[in-house]
Amino acid sequence: MLINEVKEKLIAIVTKANYDDSKTERLVYSYDATPNFQSMPDAVVSPRNTEEVSQILKVCNQYKVPIVPRGSGTNLCAGTCPTEGGIVMLFKHMNKILEIDEENLTVTVQPGVITLDMIHAVEEKGLFYPPDPSSMKISTIGGNINENSGGLRGLKYGVTRDYVIALEVVLPNGDIIRTGGKLAKDVAGYDLTRLFVGSEGTLVVITEATLKLIPMPETKKTMLALYQDLSAAAKSVSAIIANKIIPTTLEFLDQPTLQVVEDFAKIGLPTDVKAVLLIEQDGPPEVVERDLTRIADICKQEQAVSIQIAASEAEAEALRTARRTALSAIARLKPTTILEDATVPRSEIANMVKAINEITDKYQLTICTFGHAGDGNLHPTCATDARNHEEMERVEKAFAEIFEHAIALGGTITGEHGVGAMKAPYLEWKLKEEGIAAMKAIKHGFDPNNIMNPGKVFAKDSKKRVVVTK
Ligand SMILES: Cc1cc2nc3c(=O)[nH]c(=O)nc-3n(C[C@H](O)[C@H](O)[C@H](O)COP(=O)(O)OP(=O)(O)OC[C@H]3O[C@@H](n4cnc5c(N)ncnc54)[C@H](O)[C@@H]3O)c2cc1C
């Protein structure tokens, strides 16, 4: 529990109404979307503005109290589990869209804005914010920025990082700084904006963000390519890109995923094929037509057994929504769902899918695989039961091997979900000791007292590597 002096100071800043250390409230914020990392905070604090955030940070820095900034807690890396206690900071009052600037094509928001609300607001003005994480109905912009989240449109349009052009942040010592601006160009000093994107709440608290918008594409079309051979589907992904076509969306779903999604969404997805690619293109109508025809030809050359084009926008939206529900659908299978996001160069997608299937068989697990194949970003997702310790050991070994394979293929342990507490023990596999030391130096420079989301990104001990033959 916090000492009385700290509690009183925090209440003096945010008022009693915005400070809660009741057991119920602490329990609510003791976990996030990641299984197995539940841990109690000492209190939950909801500042109303940047000045209050600054004062809270000064107090916490003085008394060395950990701060866990939290959006909607949908991260999948235990990034908001208060593993070292301290306060959880909520942004429920800092949830306004401050400005949509149609001359500079920007939107300025507070961190607690829900992603989809912002997307709808800019779309009403004919503008487009492409990053669309599947959690966008509930995720916040603060969370998206801190995880550098991606989505179905990432292949053509990039991820959150590509749209953040200015930030207001509070440093652990309480200083308030602004980075970037409504600028197409800015090389004044180090690029702090980019550093803070994806920093998982471990460096600063983000209190405002200005995001780049682009004009809404004129039209879009959606199709499914069906395969009886997993590696043919994976090879189509590289073939489409190698033919110099960049679709908006190029998603992969294997048969087990198709089955659970269809059981859940009931929209007539094919469940008798081994894999499906969900492909979308947007832009001027003639370009969309031309690209979809060429993509269909490539898929057929790569042994697609059937191509289905969505007849209407409603049908296309149903397909997108079905894909976005993949995780929730799999979560219905068993009490615990562990989703990973090993990522490889696109040219290695076929090898990675093959490796995941072999590892699944080796450890006799239920793993469904789907993901942003065009980005080389796969989500092998294990339906399991945390109470079954013997199975959990097999799950852990399987995912360790999946990470190792991804790295051996030139990939990474996470493409969009972040490191948090969950993948911290594996980070050294990707960065090596020297890389970790460089990152720790940055962390120490900003946060010498280690109050910002401690226990995340950097593990106390690295996991021992198993030997994987490529
Ligand atoms: C069903 C489902 C589907 C998902 N689909 C996708 C997907 O398609 N793509 C994808 O990339 N991810 C996806 N995710 C993961 C997750 O939704 C994203 O990481 C999302 O960006 C998290 O947003 P949040 O508001 O829930 O943030 P939280 O989970 O609350 O926080 C995420 C991180 O940001 C930090 N943080 C939050 N706000 C601030 C702030 N103001 N200042 C400093 N640090 C802050 C937290 O400390 C934490 O480290 C999915 C998750 C679920 C459950």
What is the C-alpha separation between 205 and 66, in angstroms, rounded? 13
Q: What pLDDT is stored for residue 449 in this prediction?
A: 98
3-state secondary structure of 107: strand
CA of 309 to the centre of ligand 1 (A): 32
Look up residue 57 and give its two tokens. 């940070």
Tokens of 253: 């779903």
Task: Work out the pLDDT band at 463, boundaries 50, 70, 90.
Answer: confident
16 Cα to the center of ligand 1, angstroms: 28
Burial class from Cβ neighbours inside 10 Å (0-12, 13-18, 19+) for residue 228 reads middle
Helix axes 349-362, 230-242, angle to 10 degrees: 160
Terminal C-alpha separation, the chain:
49
Question: If you average pLDDT over every residue of the chain, what do you get?
Answer: 95
Task: From the CA of 152, give the closest atom in ligand 1.
Answer: 8
In order of 23, 248, 341, 397, 435, the CA distances from 467 in angstroms are 45, 37, 20, 12, 21
Q: How do residues 291-329 score in pLDDT, each as one tens digit?
A: 999 999 999 999 999 999 999 999 999 999 889 999 999
Higher pLDDT, 141 or 346: 141
pLDDT above 70 (res 467)? no
Q: Where are the domain boundaries for CATH 3.40.462.10 in the chain?
A: 219-408
- Do residues 397 and 463 lie in contact, with contact meaning Cβ atoms separated by under 8 Å? no
Residue 470 pLDDT greater than 60, yes or no: no
Pocket test for ligand 1, best of 96, 146, 325 (most atoms within 8 A of CB): 146
**Does position 260 have pLDDT exceeding 50, yes or no?**
yes
Q: Which two tokens stand for residue 38?
A: 């539940």
In this prediction, residue 120 has a pLDDT band, given cuts at 50, 70 and 90, of very high
Band (pLDDT 50/70/90 cuts) for residue 461 is confident
Q: For 115-125, what is the mean pLDDT?
A: 98
d(CA 423, CA 191): 26
For the chain, count helices (H), then strands (E).
Answer: 15, 18
If DSSP codes are grouped into helix, strand and coil, which group holds residue 77?
coil
Which of 75, 110, 211, 456 to mutate for ligand 1's pocket (most ligand atoms within 8 Å of CB)? 75
Q: What is the DSSP string of 38-61?
A: ----SEEE--SSHHHHHHHHHHHH
| Contact call for residues 116 and 95 (beta carbons, < 8 A) | no
Name the 3-class secondary structure at 199.
coil
Contacts of 408 (CB under 8 A, 6+ apart): 468, 470
Instruction: Name the residue among 139, 254, 221, 335 with its Cα closest to residue 150.
Output: 139
347-403 confidence digits (pLDDT tens):
899 899 999 999 999 999 999 999 999 999 999 999 999 999 999 999 999 999 999
pLDDT at residue 242 greater than cutoff 90: yes
- Measure 234 CA to ligand 1 centroid, in angstroms: 28
**CATH 3.30.465.10: which residues of the chain?**
1-216
Angstrom distance (rounded) from CA 80 to CA 172: 17
Report residue 348 as tokens: 């290695």
pLDDT (tens digit, 9 = 90+) per residue, 177-187? 999 999 999 99
What is the tens place of the pLDDT at every residue in 90-102? 999 999 999 999 9
Rounded CA-CA distance 464/467 in Å is 10
Q: State pLDDT tens for residues 42-91.
A: 999 999 999 999 999 999 999 999 999 999 999 999 999 999 999 999 99
- Give pTM, 2 decimals: 0.96
Q: How far is the CA of 139 from the centre of ligand 1 (A)?
A: 6
Kindly report, residue by residue over 132-144, the tens digit of the pLDDT: 999 999 999 999 9
The CA distance from 78 to 421, in Å, is 5
Helix, strand, coil in percent for the chain, rounding step 5: 40, 20, 40
**Which of 135, 323, 379 for a ligand 1 pocket mutation test, highest count of atoms within 8 Å of Cβ?**
135
Q: How many CB atoms lie within 10 A of CB 402?
A: 24
* Per-residue pLDDT at 466 exceeds 70: no
Q: What is residue 462's predicted lDDT score, i.e. its pLDDT?
A: 77
Q: For the beta carbon of residue 444, count every other beta carbon within 10 angstroms.
A: 11
Give the confidence band of 465 by pLDDT, cuts at 50, 70, 90.
low
CATH value of 219-408 in 3.30.70.100, 3.40.462.10, 3.10.450.50, 3.40.50.1470: 3.40.462.10
Greatest CA separation found in the chain? 71
Q: What residues does ligand 1 touch, defined as CB less than 6 Å away?
A: 32-33, 68-76, 79-80, 91, 111, 133-135, 139-140, 142-144, 146-147, 149-151, 200-201, 205-206, 327-328, 416-417, 453
Place of tokens 């493409």: 415
Whether the pLDDT of residue 119 is over 60: the answer is: yes
Answer yes or no: are the C-beta atoms of 353 and 342 closer than 8 Å.
no
Q: Choose which CATH entry (3.30.499.10, 3.40.50.300, 3.30.465.10, 3.90.1310.10) describes domain 1-216.
A: 3.30.465.10
Contact 36/81 with Cβ under 8 angstroms? no
DSSP secondary structure, 81-120, as one string: S-TT-SEEEE-SSS--EEEEETTTTEEEE-TT-BHHHHHH
